[in-house]
Amino acid sequence: MAGGVARRDRFELPDSVRRFFEGDWDSAALRVEEYQDGSTLVVKAEMPGIDPEKDVDISVSDGVLHIQAERQETSEHKDKGGYRTEFRYGSFSRDIPLPSGSKDSDVSASYRDGVLEVRVPVAERSETTSKIQVTRG
């Protein structure tokens, strides 16, 4: 070590670690937010850069809401030195158990500003309480 300066060899991160820090998520999970709005379950999912009419599939089966989306992004860079394109593909899905009393036939979905919102009506639960008599045996 001449002059007290340590020399470091260049260290390359594995692709999976590099993608983690760069934010390139290839995972199959969607980040969602769920909350109750009166008698409606609202599920919001982040889906920037997709065409909701072509790239999203939503279904309900056996009390589970299934959301699936595919993203294709292309960016082109042209300059005097050459031409380069970058493609980003991703397939994302999420299964969300629905509360009992969900009305599958009235599910609605909308997409705005990169966020998918799915609304599922849920039947009102009756709050009746039955007192149970305990008998001696």
Would you kindly state where each structural domain of the chain is located, as residue ranges? 27-121
Interatomic CA distance for residues 96 and 56, integer angstroms: 16
List all residues 6 or more positions away from 40 whose beta carbon is below 8 Å from its beta carbon. Answer: 119, 120, 121, 122
Give the model's confidence band at 119: pLDDT under 50 very low, under 70 low, under 90 confident, else very high: very high
Side-chain half-sphere of 69: how many Cα atoms within 13 Å?
Answer: 24
Q: Is the entire prediction scored with pTM above 0.85? A: no
Interatomic CA distance for residues 77 and 85, integer angstroms: 6
Interatomic CA distance for residues 65 and 40, integer angstroms: 14
Q: What are the pLDDT digits (tens) for 17-64?
A: 555 454 444 444 678 999 999 999 999 998 887 888 888 999 999 889
Mean of per-residue pLDDT scores for the chain: 78
Task: Give the domain 27-121 fold.
Answer: Immunoglobulin-like (2.60.40)
